[in-house]
Amino acid sequence: MSNLTRRRFLQAAGGITFLALSPIGCSSFAAPGNKAGWPLFTALPYVQPGAGSQLVNGAESLIIAWQTEDKAANFRCEYGATERYGQRATIEQSKVWAGDTGRLHYAARPDKLKLGTRYYYRVWCNGEVLFAGYFTTRQPRGARIRFAAFGDNAYGGDADRAIAFRAYQQNPDFVMNTGDNVYNSGLNSEYEDHWFPIYNHDQASLETGAPLLRSVPFYTVLANHDVRGRDANGGSCADFDRDRDSLAYYTAMHLPQNGPTPAFPTPLIGDLTRINDFKSAAATRYPNMANYSFDYGDAHFLCLDSNIYLDPSNRDLIDWIADDLKSTDALWKFVTYHHPAYNIGEQHYREQHMRVLSPTFEQHKVDFVLHGHEHNYQRTRPFRFVPRENSAVHKINSSNRLISGQFTIDVQFDGAKNTAPDGVIYLTTGAGGAYLYDTEFTNDPSKWLHPQDDNAPYVAQVFADRHSLTMFEIGGKTLEMKQVDENGEIIDRLRVTKA
Ligand SMILES: [Fe+2]
């Protein structure tokens, strides 16, 4: 591909406009001429959603973040609705870690933005422009939107890059990363090694990944690979003795913070100085970013922590969820959490604690619930669920929390001729890059039943023999969903309509 063609391709799909930085190894970048004393970049500028929850024209803000070596530099970030820029963003700096090596994290905050508008930005360092790109703010009500969803990615293999490229080709407004978005332990050093370089690669290809992050915000949720420590009792926690750069979810991501103070925040153990360093960098993001919601176009999204250290039957949490889903006037409602409450996989079938939230989702007319955790693609039929025996939900830190109950399945819905579902569709899209689970389940519906669930046929489709991602496109009362595999083929699709 010639330079010109490549540049056009990148611009068409929402990518780079200018990069003066040169790669030094796989995950660091130097200023032109590798100027003495200038910091190396360890994460190129990437767009984050920021605090925006409700849609308010003129009050939109995003975050442009980047990370460097722990070396002082004078940064400036400009932005504007044209490439003449004109506005200057405030920049906050925090000290973070990659392994035991210090890093500086920068967060520039363009604000007072209009909805559904492209903005240009550029980052100056020590008086020189090193980077220029653009992003588009959230779409207002009534606008068509499209987003990608995938999870269990950034494993460090070729499939991560293929899925990043396929997502990029789909030109999403944003990405919903359904958790385990970096392996193995959610460390900032792991984001440096195989998250930023893949989803913010300068070239778009199956072999490299794609320049998504510099233009496309990623939303994500807390998952088990974000929290990989164990306390003296074997409980799930972040262990800062083991990993100084634990919980990069709270220090590298900038997401809405409109959820309640969690009753079960991510537990922290280890050296107090390290924990205080983490808290200082995360500021209000820890623990408030555990649960949040936001609107985008005609859709509302609720994102929840589903880790095993929490009890989702907590009254404050359920009240907040009900209130959040009730108070939105969005036409479409999505929930994202990592641990799939309804899946027939061999690996995580018994982690059913999140099932207790289904009646609340049904009552407030949630359309889709998105998950990861199972490294494959599983789609359920629309159904309603009434828990029967749910005492296991209180077994904190157990991965064996079976919740039995009554399924009422809409078997008429087929997503083609019959497009009005009765119930919630649960979609596990965890084939984003990590090694696959249960490949033999593909095309074998006899394996999609479970005696513990009275062999209720709630699973409608499984693709476990290939990596894939989900695309949603919403225009008014019609939603199109398609599952795209690593070869770019559509392997499953649905149309959902509202009266
Ligand atoms: Fe997981």
Same domain, 116 and 155: no
Q: How far is the CA of 225 from the centre of ligand 1 (A)?
A: 6
Distance (Å, whole) CA 301 – CA 299: 7
Per residue of the chain (499 residues), give pLDDT as tens. 444 466 666 665 556 778 899 998 778 999 998 899 999 999 999 999 999 999 999 999 999 999 999 999 999 999 999 999 999 999 999 999 999 999 999 999 999 999 999 999 999 999 999 999 999 999 999 999 999 999 999 999 999 999 999 999 999 999 999 999 999 999 999 999 999 999 999 889 999 999 999 999 999 999 999 999 999 999 999 999 999 999 999 999 999 999 999 999 999 999 999 999 999 999 999 999 999 999 999 999 999 999 999 999 999 999 999 999 999 999 999 999 999 999 999 999 999 999 999 999 999 999 999 999 999 999 999 999 999 999 999 999 999 999 999 999 999 999 999 999 999 999 999 999 999 999 999 999 999 999 999 999 999 999 999 999 999 999 999 999 999 999 999 999 999 999 9
Q: How far is the CA of 372 from the centre of ligand 1 (A)?
A: 6
Same domain, 174 and 57: no
Q: Is 39 within the bounds of a domain?
A: yes
Q: How far is the CA of 12 from the centre of ligand 1 (A)?
A: 33
Q: How far is the CA of 122 from the centre of ligand 1 (A)?
A: 36
Element (H, E) at 189: helix 188-194
Same domain, 149 and 131: no
Same domain, 86 and 150: no
Element (H, E) at 288: helix 285-288
Q: How far is the CA of 396 from the centre of ligand 1 (A)?
A: 17
Rounded alpha-carbon distances, angstroms, from residue 86 to 20, 78, 79, 320, 321: 21, 7, 6, 40, 40
Q: How far is the CA of 137 from the centre of ligand 1 (A)?
A: 30
Q: How far is the CA of 391 from the centre of ligand 1 (A)?
A: 23
* Residues with C-beta atoms within 5 A of ion ligand 1: 180, 223-224, 373
Same domain, 176 and 126: no
Q: How far is the CA of 7 from the centre of ligand 1 (A)?
A: 36
Same domain, 186 and 37: no
Distance (Å, whole) CA 224 – CA 348: 12
Q: Is 1 within the bounds of a domain?
A: no
What phi-psi label fits residue 183: left (phi over 0), alpha (psi between -120 and 50 degrees) or beta? beta
Same domain, 118 and 160: no
Q: How far is the CA of 338 from the centre of ligand 1 (A)?
A: 7
Q: How far is the CA of 374 from the centre of ligand 1 (A)?
A: 7
Q: How far is the CA of 448 from the centre of ligand 1 (A)?
A: 20
- Phi, psi at residue 94, to the nearest 5°? -135, 155
Q: How far is the CA of 353 from the centre of ligand 1 (A)?
A: 14
Same domain, 105 and 196: no
Q: Is 470 within the bounds of a domain?
A: yes
Q: Is 44 within the bounds of a domain?
A: yes
Q: How far is the CA of 143 from the centre of ligand 1 (A)?
A: 33
189 and 196 in contact (C-beta within 8 Å)? no
Q: Which residues fall within 8 angstroms of residue 428, CB to CB, at 6 or more apart?
A: 340, 343, 371, 372, 373, 374, 376, 377, 378, 379
Q: Is 189 within the bounds of a domain?
A: yes
Q: Is 105 within the bounds of a domain?
A: yes
Same domain, 169 and 281: yes
Q: How far is the CA of 216 from the centre of ligand 1 (A)?
A: 23
Domain interval for residue 42 = 6-136
Residue 49: which CATH number? 2.60.40
Q: Token pair of 397, please?
A: 């830190």
Q: Token pair of 14, please?
A: 């929402």
- Give the three-class secondary structure for 200: strand
371 and 428 in contact (C-beta within 8 Å)? yes
- Phi, psi at residue 387, to the nearest 5°? -60, 140
- Give the three-class secondary structure for 289: coil
Same domain, 382 and 430: yes
153 and 163 in contact (C-beta within 8 Å)? yes
Q: Is 191 within the bounds of a domain?
A: yes
Q: How far is the CA of 53 from the centre of ligand 1 (A)?
A: 26
Q: Is 456 within the bounds of a domain?
A: yes
Q: What is the DSSP secondary-structure string of 310-321? A: S-TT-HHHHHHH
Same domain, 100 and 195: no
Distance (Å, whole) CA 200 – CA 456: 42
Same domain, 40 and 179: no
Q: Which residues fall within 8 angstroms of residue 387, CB to CB, at 6 or more apart?
A: 355, 356, 358, 359, 403, 404, 405
Among 73, 102, 136, the domain boundary falls at 136
Distance (Å, whole) CA 120 – CA 215: 10
Distance (Å, whole) CA 316 – CA 331: 25
Q: How far is the CA of 418 from the centre of ligand 1 (A)?
A: 33
Number of folded domains in the chain? Answer: 2
Residue 444: which CATH number? 3.60.21.10
Q: Token pair of 409, please?
A: 């399945």
Among 102, 136, 170, the domain boundary falls at 136
Distance (Å, whole) CA 498 – CA 44: 41
Q: How far is the CA of 152 from the centre of ligand 1 (A)?
A: 7
pTM of the model: 0.97
Among 87, 105, 136, the domain boundary falls at 136
Q: How far is the CA of 293 from the centre of ligand 1 (A)?
A: 21
Please name the residue that has the structure tokens 């095309």.
Answer: 443
Distance (Å, whole) CA 10 – CA 19: 12
